[in-house]
Amino acid sequence: MTSTSGPTDAQAPLPTPAQSPLPAADEAVVGPLDRGLSVLRAMSAPSEHRLRPSDLVRATGLARATVDRVVSTLVHLGYLRQAGRDVELTPRLLELGNAYLSACGIPDTLGPIADRLAAEFDESLSLAVPDGDGVRFVTRVSRRRTMSLAFRIGDLLPAERCAPGALFAKEWTEQQWSAWRARLRADPCDASFSAVPTRTSATVAETAEADFGDRVTQAAARGWSADNQLVEPGLIAVAVPVADPSGRTVCAVSVVSHISRHTVESLAAAVLPRLRDEAAAMERALAEAVTQPGGRAAPDSAPPDNLTAKQELGAGFLQSLARGLAVLASLNAAGGRTLSEVAYATDLPRATARRALLSLEQLGYVEVDGRRFRPLPRVLELGYAHLSGLSLTQIVQPHLERLVGEVHESASMTVLDGDDIRYVARIPTYRIMSVDITVGTRFPAYATSMGRVLLAGLDETERLDRLSRADLRPLTSRTVTDPAALAQILRDTATDGYALVNEELDEGLRSLAVPVRDAAGTVVAAVNVSTHTGRGSIADTLATLLPALRRAAARIEADLRAVSARTPLRMP
């Protein structure tokens, strides 16, 4: 059985010109992989990131038993998690999109130039790649808030509704033009493009058809293209193409502004000379990067899951799906990987790895170029835009829920804010504090376990500096307020990797906290569990709560690494 492929089918990439040197994919592998990908696509639809299995049956057209097997496999792989009766996408899924971004090399190679240009122009800037008859963002540098909606990495725009589209369409085949016309007719209001406001009238699409043809011709003649409020009123953009050494347009760089600052003409006059120079610099950088394929590994290149779950989950585990996704995740080297490299990276026999690669190619997620297999931009449709935009609070909440389920005590996360800790997430069980704590609540850092963990994450000079400035006053009879004693406590906290505070903030309250570190090892937040002193000794608290708290912190850190691999984390 093959699934219906959901609303994005219209943007399915056309066959690549490169001919596969290998025999056709095997239906026994394509089927389960296709069903798994269709569940992930359904989960990626806007506002659908949490679904019941019955909703998935409706969205994918798959049988309930099939959905259950796909879901249990994806849960086992860590791409989905159970949330009560719902399932939801997890940040781990970002590793698939990150494999594409690493393999295509555009963010790594061109990102620094994009950053520099955005600062120079003091305008937002983006890099986008062609994806079927759409345009997909792979890098964004936001300088000013130019629009009411904010695009994210992975978002897909219709080619005719943005500046880069006219540059890409110049290279379309007749077949691609007819696919585009068919899509425009089938979806005149752009309902299948969740990143853009829908058109209010289908007749606009009719004028769009003629207008786009003109803009493509004009862009080809001038070597740049414009967006005069095609996405939303007020928003304008100017884009130039960036070609690979073979002359193919691989991406476009857009400068985005607003009619309150520029007209399209004045924006073009202001940025085009420099933009063209820098696009040429981007082309040189890309040409240099392709001479060293495989050089850069993805920042989140975690070893693939061991695939022995077949024994554990029996028929509920779809091994072909698990292997296919492991193969996709393994393509995370600049320029992609050869079959031998994939087999080595995934620990799969060559024949198995080859079947998975060919299935992924057939399903439009991978292309083969000579001996190298590369993920296609379409991989980003698997939840990337949603997951990469998650805030710290959103990332942490499910992990705190799980922790509270394990230890049956309240759990929280805070960040350092001046001399205070500020709550960014909290799952209360019952009230043991004399004040209510909600997101946004602040307490003085020196008197709390989370504050001590956060202060301990700073270097010694900064710690002492803060202690000397802070207003250290007793909040209970037990509060430590002596700067020298606090300095020693912070040193111990840094060594132990946790802090326990007993009745220094509130009578009867005991709190245990551990740090949460980002990919660079910097302490960015603290998580705690709080309990009542009547529940047992300090030794009991440590023995029962510390292991669970550390496991929760490790799970949070893994998610933070995935989310912040390509975009700075959104701190609340």
Residues that bind ligand PHB (CB under 6 A): 126, 151, 162-163, 227, 231, 237, 254, 256
For the bound state, the minimum distance from the C-beta of residue 184 to ligand PHB, rounded and expressed in Å, comes to: 17
Closest CA to 248 of 16, 564, 407: 16
Closest CA to 560 of 425, 419, 399: 399
For the bound state, the minimum distance from the C-beta of residue 166 to ligand PHB, rounded and expressed in Å, comes to: 10
User: Cβ closer to ligand PHB: 204 or 297?
Assistant: 204
For the bound state, the minimum distance from the C-beta of residue 339 to ligand PHB, rounded and expressed in Å, comes to: 36
Question: Which residue blocks in 45-146 are alpha helix, DSSP H?
Answer: 53-60, 64-77, 94-104, 106-121
User: Cβ closer to ligand PHB: 254 or 493?
Assistant: 254
Closest CA to 236 of 285, 191, 269: 269
For the bound state, the minimum distance from the C-beta of residue 235 to ligand PHB, rounded and expressed in Å, comes to: 6
For the bound state, the minimum distance from the C-beta of residue 137 to ligand PHB, rounded and expressed in Å, comes to: 6
Integer Cα distance of 361 and 356 in angstroms? 9
User: Cβ closer to ligand PHB: 205 or 239?
Assistant: 239
For the bound state, the minimum distance from the C-beta of residue 151 to ligand PHB, rounded and expressed in Å, comes to: 5
User: Cβ closer to ligand PHB: 140 or 296?
Assistant: 140
Q: Are 448 and 505 in contact (CB under 8 A)?
A: yes
For the bound state, the minimum distance from the C-beta of residue 202 to ligand PHB, rounded and expressed in Å, comes to: 22
Integer Cα distance of 537 and 560 in angstroms? 33
Residue 324: partners with Cβ closer than 8 Å, 6 or more residues away:
29, 32, 33, 36, 356, 359, 360
SS3 call for 140: strand
DSSP 395: H
For the bound state, the minimum distance from the C-beta of residue 334 to ligand PHB, rounded and expressed in Å, comes to: 24
φ/ψ of 445, rounded to 5, equals -60, -40
442-444 and 420-427 beta bridge pairing = antiparallel
For the bound state, the minimum distance from the C-beta of residue 254 to ligand PHB, rounded and expressed in Å, comes to: 4
Integer Cα distance of 41 and 217 in angstroms? 34
User: Cβ closer to ligand PHB: 254 or 397?
Assistant: 254
Residue 119 CB-half CA count within 13 A: 6
Question: Which residue blocks in 331-434 are alpha helix, DSSP H?
Answer: 339-346, 350-362, 384-388, 392-407
For the bound state, the minimum distance from the C-beta of residue 205 to ligand PHB, rounded and expressed in Å, comes to: 17
User: Cβ closer to ligand PHB: 310 or 570?
Assistant: 570
User: Cβ closer to ligand PHB: 147 or 558?
Assistant: 147
User: Cβ closer to ligand PHB: 140 or 323?
Assistant: 140
User: Cβ closer to ligand PHB: 251 or 562?
Assistant: 251
Integer Cα distance of 466 and 483 in angstroms? 10
User: Cβ closer to ligand PHB: 34 or 190?
Assistant: 190
**Given its phi and psi angles, is residue 212 left (phi above 0), alpha (psi -120 to 50 degrees) or beta?**
alpha
Residue 275: partners with Cβ closer than 8 Å, 6 or more residues away:
117, 224, 238, 240, 253, 255
